[in-house]
Structure 1
């Protein structure tokens, strides 16, 4: 546990995990030093549109699923600040539906290109400038930490085709996510003042899925695993439970992948690549429900008690 509250960046690659490959070296480098695992999701409602999926899954990350349903009936909801001890939060996204939902939850909402609007011509690469601007919002600049910051938490939502809106540009979006990870970790060097206070989460999802998706992308415990004498040594997490009640409609396949890193705070596991296989075999976080994610991050910011404590 840090001796001061952290400030957090969440890079959310919505529907992009399928496109991560060996060329995305910054994502793999992060995984090699981060604490890695999965966030489980419920089964999607039938006939859900892509925009509905985007907002619903983001709502789950915020533990605001009920609020997502209430948006039809209400123009104002309980805000992030009211739920998490005055936490100030912002989101960068190009998705109109997500902007509307974020505004109702009390987020400051920006277009992704707002990170680059003040970039001087011929200066540092745009992604490097954007990373610097992102960290400034959290009070990190010129290698130092300002004691008061504009925000405690900043999300960057990158969806398939959101950054580059031309058709079939999902791979470009993964490249952008990869470059942004590299730029942020370059600034937040281990042992630096920023590195000690910045909590970085990279979350990626599969987007729209079906029961016919690859059965090897399942996080459930297999029968052949149970027969192994080593299975008794493997801890199991109750991601299928909420309190004492079973969760309904848990989707056991195609979870979100998550890698979290903060120098000298998060634990390093044995994962070496940003991949489902490596996270399942070597990740340290196993599986938690997606609606517990923000509670875990808020704890690092001193804005919530420890989940499960």
Structure 2
């Protein structure tokens, strides 16, 4: 735990892990310094659209699933009226100020309902540039400026405690997505490199910035993605002790089992803050390396924001 509250930047790559390869050296370098693991998601409802999936998974990260169901019409009007008003992030986390940067209009609308200040990438840069045309140096600098970091120093009058940047193919047509996603991975790789260049170990930025890089698999199929499961296989169990293996903690909520846990295709997460986060043995930003060498193992995705809020001194205890 740092001796001062941190500021958090979350880079969320929506549907990107399959496109990470060996040339994305900044992502792999970041993973080698970070604490790595997985965030499990619930199963997708039937006939879910791509934008609905993006919003739902984002809602899970914020532990705001009911708000998401209300928004996309999976609960009746009467049920919505019976539910209490969904509190904002500021209400839930001791006045936390948060910004969401996304070009996905549905996610932008949802974020606004939860109290995020919502921006598009071109609003951040002050230009009409697309993602591919935005300068990495400009974007890295502007993201850190929102958190109060200017010229390598922390200023008192900052706008936000948390900035959430969502990068993904989003509303593009199906035939455009593969090329778009490949470009998005390249961009987030370069952005990680640009931010880490500023947040050098021992610098004021490095000691106060809590950086998370998340990547979700997007639409998935258990049959096609069985090799991306976090379950302990029968081959890894000792047959004499197999009956003594308890439920893994990510399958529980308090004393009760979680009824809806997707064991395949979890989100990949790597987190770093100089002298605050632990370093594990992972060397690559990949499912295989995180499973074999990651230190965070598996936690439910709805616990993510609570962990980050604790680092910002906006939650009373870790994982609260």
TM-score > 0.5 by shorter chain: yes
Check 1:45–1:66 CA distance in 2 against 1; reply closer, same or farther (3 A cut): same
SS of equivalent residue, structure 1 residue 239? helix
Deviation at 1:127, TM superposition (A): 1.0
Specify the alignment match of 2:306 in structure 1.
Answer: 295
For 2:240 and 2:102, locate their aligned partners in 1 and report how far apart those are by CA, in whole Å: 47
Match of 2:316 in 1: 305
Partner of 2:185: 174
CA deviations over 1:113-140 (Å, ceiling 9, x no partner): 2232269xxxxx8111111011001000
- Structure 2 counterpart of 1:187: 198
Residues 166 and 213 from structure 1, CA distance in 2 versus in 1: closer, same or farther, beyond 3 angstroms? closer
Structure 2 CA distance for partners of 1:100 and 1:226, relative to 1, 3 Å: same
CA shift, 1:148, in A, is: 3.0
* Rounded Cα–Cα distance in structure 1 between residues aligned with 2:275 and 2:174: 38
Corresponding residue to 1:146 among 155, 158, 180: 155
- The match for 2:92 is 83
CA contact (8 A) 1:164 1:173 kept: no
Q: Residue 272 of structure 2 corresponds to which residue in structure 1?
A: 261
Cα separation, 2, equivalents of 1:194 and 1:222: 42
Displacement of 1:4 after TM fit?
A: 0.1
Deviation at 1:307, TM superposition (A): 3.6
SS of residue in 2 equivalent to 1:36: strand
1:78-117 mapped onto 2 (5 Å cutoff)? 78-117=87-126
Change (3 A) 1:23 1:236: farther
**For residues 176 and 164 of structure 1, what CA distance do their matches in structure 2 show?**
20
Q: Does 1:155 align with 2:164?
A: yes
User: For residues 235 and 147 of structure 1, what CA distance do their matches in structure 2 show?
Assistant: 48
Partner of 2:259: 248
Cross-structure match for 2:228:
217
Q: From the two aligned structures, give the one with the greater helix fraction.
A: 2
Q: 1:132 aligns with which of 133, 136, 141?
A: 141
- The CA distance in 2 between the partners of 1:230 and 1:149, in whole Å, is 54
Aligned residues: 303
| Cα distance between partner residues in 1 of 2:183 and 2:174 | 10
Give the RMSD, CA atoms, in angstroms: 2.5
Partner of 2:131: none
Question: How big is the shift at 1:305?
Answer: 2.6
Q: Residues 137 and 165 of structure 1: is their aligned pair in 2 closer, same or farther, counting only changes over 3 Å? A: farther
Q: 8 Å contact 2:306–2:319 — kept in the other structure?
A: no
- C-alpha displacement of 1:147: 2.1
Is the contact between residue 51 and residue 170 of structure 2 (CA under 8 Å) also seen in structure 1?
Answer: no
Deviations, residues 166-191 of structure 1 (Å, cap 9, x unaligned)? 81311001011111111111111101
Matches within 5 A, 1:203-214: 203-214=214-225
Q: Which residue of 1 aligns with 2:66?
A: 66
How many Å separate the matches in 2 of 1:284 and 1:229? 27
The offset of 1:249, in angstroms, is: 1.9
Q: Which runs of 5+ in 2 are unaligned?
A: 129-133
Distance 1:55 1:202 in 2: 18
**Unpaired runs of 5+ in structure 1?**
120-124
Deviation at 1:223, TM superposition (A): 1.2
Contact 2:51–2:106 (CA under 8 A) maintained in structure 1: yes
Partner Cα separation in structure 2 for residue 132 and residue 175 of structure 1: 18
Contact 2:5 2:313 in 1 (8 A): yes
* Larger deviation, residues 75-84 vs 160-169: 160-169
